[in-house]
Amino acid sequence: MVNKQTVVIKELKSDSEWSEAFPVMKQLRTHLDEASYLDLVQEATQKEDYKLAGLFENGKIVAVTGFMPMITLYNGKSIWVCDLVTSSDVRSMGYGAALLDYVQTWAKENGYENVSLSSGLQRIDAHRFYEHKMEYDKVSYCFLKRL
Protein backbone atom coordinates (compact mmCIF):
# COMPACT_ATOMS: atom_id res chain seq x y z
CA MET A 1 0.00 0.00 0.00
CA VAL A 2 2.23 2.85 1.27
CA ASN A 3 5.31 3.24 -0.92
CA LYS A 4 7.97 4.26 1.57
CA GLN A 5 10.15 5.64 -1.22
CA THR A 6 7.63 8.32 -2.21
CA VAL A 7 5.94 8.90 1.18
CA VAL A 8 7.31 11.08 3.99
CA ILE A 9 5.61 12.01 7.28
CA LYS A 10 6.77 15.10 9.12
CA GLU A 11 5.53 17.49 11.75
CA LEU A 12 4.25 20.76 10.31
CA LYS A 13 5.50 23.70 12.36
CA SER A 14 4.98 26.93 10.43
CA ASP A 15 2.09 28.97 9.08
CA SER A 16 3.11 28.12 5.53
CA GLU A 17 3.18 24.37 6.28
CA TRP A 18 -0.18 24.60 8.07
CA SER A 19 -1.61 26.45 5.05
CA GLU A 20 -0.29 23.74 2.75
CA ALA A 21 -2.23 21.17 4.83
CA PHE A 22 -5.47 23.17 4.85
CA PRO A 23 -7.03 21.76 1.63
CA VAL A 24 -6.82 18.24 3.08
CA MET A 25 -7.92 19.28 6.60
CA LYS A 26 -10.87 21.15 5.06
CA GLN A 27 -12.25 17.78 3.90
CA LEU A 28 -12.69 16.86 7.58
CA ARG A 29 -13.24 20.25 9.18
CA THR A 30 -15.64 21.66 6.59
CA HIS A 31 -16.87 24.41 8.92
CA LEU A 32 -13.47 26.15 9.02
CA ASP A 33 -12.13 28.73 6.61
CA GLU A 34 -8.37 29.00 6.26
CA ALA A 35 -7.99 32.04 8.53
CA SER A 36 -9.90 30.48 11.45
CA TYR A 37 -8.08 27.17 10.90
CA LEU A 38 -4.69 28.92 11.09
CA ASP A 39 -5.74 30.84 14.22
CA LEU A 40 -6.87 27.63 15.93
CA VAL A 41 -3.74 25.67 14.97
CA GLN A 42 -1.50 28.48 16.19
CA GLU A 43 -3.34 28.81 19.52
CA ALA A 44 -3.53 25.04 20.04
CA THR A 45 0.20 24.58 19.38
CA GLN A 46 1.06 27.36 21.83
CA LYS A 47 -1.41 26.51 24.62
CA GLU A 48 -2.10 22.78 24.24
CA ASP A 49 1.11 21.44 22.63
CA TYR A 50 -1.02 20.42 19.62
CA LYS A 51 1.00 18.87 16.83
CA LEU A 52 0.06 18.71 13.17
CA ALA A 53 1.75 16.14 10.96
CA GLY A 54 1.47 15.76 7.22
CA LEU A 55 1.92 12.74 5.04
CA PHE A 56 3.56 13.78 1.79
CA GLU A 57 3.34 11.69 -1.36
CA ASN A 58 5.79 12.86 -4.03
CA GLY A 59 6.19 16.17 -2.16
CA LYS A 60 2.45 16.92 -1.81
CA ILE A 61 0.43 16.66 1.44
CA VAL A 62 -2.26 14.01 0.95
CA ALA A 63 -3.13 13.21 4.59
CA VAL A 64 -2.87 15.00 7.93
CA THR A 65 -3.28 14.31 11.60
CA GLY A 66 -3.48 16.63 14.58
CA PHE A 67 -2.81 15.31 18.06
CA MET A 68 -1.95 16.52 21.53
CA PRO A 69 -0.77 15.21 24.87
CA MET A 70 -3.29 14.96 27.68
CA ILE A 71 -3.19 13.88 31.29
CA THR A 72 -6.49 12.67 32.75
CA LEU A 73 -7.45 10.46 35.64
CA TYR A 74 -9.23 8.14 33.19
CA ASN A 75 -6.41 7.65 30.65
CA GLY A 76 -3.36 8.81 32.58
CA LYS A 77 -0.69 10.18 30.23
CA SER A 78 -2.19 9.82 26.79
CA ILE A 79 -2.29 11.28 23.31
CA TRP A 80 -5.58 12.54 21.92
CA VAL A 81 -5.93 12.35 18.14
CA CYS A 82 -7.94 15.46 17.32
CA ASP A 83 -7.91 15.16 13.54
CA LEU A 84 -7.13 12.45 11.00
CA VAL A 85 -7.99 12.79 7.34
CA THR A 86 -6.76 11.51 4.00
CA SER A 87 -7.57 13.37 0.80
CA SER A 88 -10.64 11.81 -0.80
CA ASP A 89 -8.79 11.01 -4.04
CA VAL A 90 -6.19 8.79 -2.31
CA ARG A 91 -8.15 7.00 0.41
CA SER A 92 -7.68 3.29 1.15
CA MET A 93 -3.98 3.43 0.30
CA GLY A 94 -2.74 2.99 3.89
CA TYR A 95 -2.07 6.67 4.60
CA GLY A 96 -4.41 6.89 7.61
CA ALA A 97 -2.79 3.81 9.11
CA ALA A 98 0.66 5.26 8.46
CA LEU A 99 -0.29 8.49 10.26
CA LEU A 100 -1.77 6.62 13.24
CA ASP A 101 1.40 4.50 13.40
CA TYR A 102 3.37 7.77 13.41
CA VAL A 103 1.27 9.09 16.33
CA GLN A 104 1.57 5.81 18.25
CA THR A 105 5.36 5.77 17.77
CA TRP A 106 5.59 9.41 18.86
CA ALA A 107 3.52 8.59 21.95
CA LYS A 108 5.72 5.63 22.94
CA GLU A 109 8.94 7.57 22.36
CA ASN A 110 7.66 10.42 24.54
CA GLY A 111 6.42 8.32 27.48
CA TYR A 112 2.67 8.25 26.84
CA GLU A 113 0.62 5.23 27.84
CA ASN A 114 -2.07 5.20 25.16
CA VAL A 115 -3.64 6.93 22.19
CA SER A 116 -7.34 7.75 22.00
CA LEU A 117 -9.71 9.55 19.68
CA SER A 118 -13.36 10.14 18.93
CA SER A 119 -15.13 9.70 15.63
CA GLY A 120 -18.46 11.11 14.48
CA LEU A 121 -21.40 8.73 14.75
CA GLN A 122 -22.02 8.91 10.99
CA ARG A 123 -18.47 7.80 10.08
CA ILE A 124 -19.13 4.06 9.93
CA ASP A 125 -16.17 3.34 7.59
CA ALA A 126 -13.84 5.19 9.95
CA HIS A 127 -15.13 3.13 12.88
CA ARG A 128 -14.37 -0.11 11.03
CA PHE A 129 -10.89 1.23 10.24
CA TYR A 130 -10.16 2.13 13.87
CA GLU A 131 -11.57 -1.08 15.36
CA HIS A 132 -10.62 -3.73 12.82
CA LYS A 133 -7.53 -2.45 11.02
CA MET A 134 -5.91 -0.35 13.76
CA GLU A 135 -7.16 -2.47 16.72
CA TYR A 136 -8.59 0.39 18.76
CA ASP A 137 -11.20 -0.53 21.39
CA LYS A 138 -14.53 1.25 21.50
CA VAL A 139 -14.61 2.27 25.18
CA SER A 140 -17.05 5.17 25.48
CA TYR A 141 -19.32 7.67 23.83
CA CYS A 142 -18.28 11.27 23.52
CA PHE A 143 -20.87 13.92 24.42
CA LEU A 144 -21.04 17.59 23.47
CA LYS A 145 -23.16 20.49 24.67
CA ARG A 146 -22.99 23.64 22.59
CA LEU A 147 -23.06 26.83 24.66
pTM (whole model) above 0.75? yes
Cross-strand partners of 69: 79
Question: What does the pLDDT read at residue 3?
Answer: 66
Looking at every residue in the chain, the average pLDDT score rounds to: 92
Query: pLDDT (tens digit, 9 = 90+) per residue, 70-122?
Result: 999 999 999 999 999 999 999 889 999 999 999 999 999 999 999 998 887 77
Rounded distance between C-alpha atoms, residue 138 and residue 116, angstroms: 10
Contact between 118 and 142 (Cβ < 8 Å): yes
Contact between 1 and 93 (Cβ < 8 Å): yes
Which segments within 22-93 are labelled E, that is strand?
51-57, 60-72, 76-86
Confidence of residue 13 (pLDDT cuts 50, 70, 90): very high
CA-only gyration radius of the chain, Å = 15
Question: What does the pLDDT read at residue 131?
Answer: 85
In CATH, the number for domain 7-133 is: 3.40.630.30
Q: Hey, where are the domains in the chain?
A: 7-133
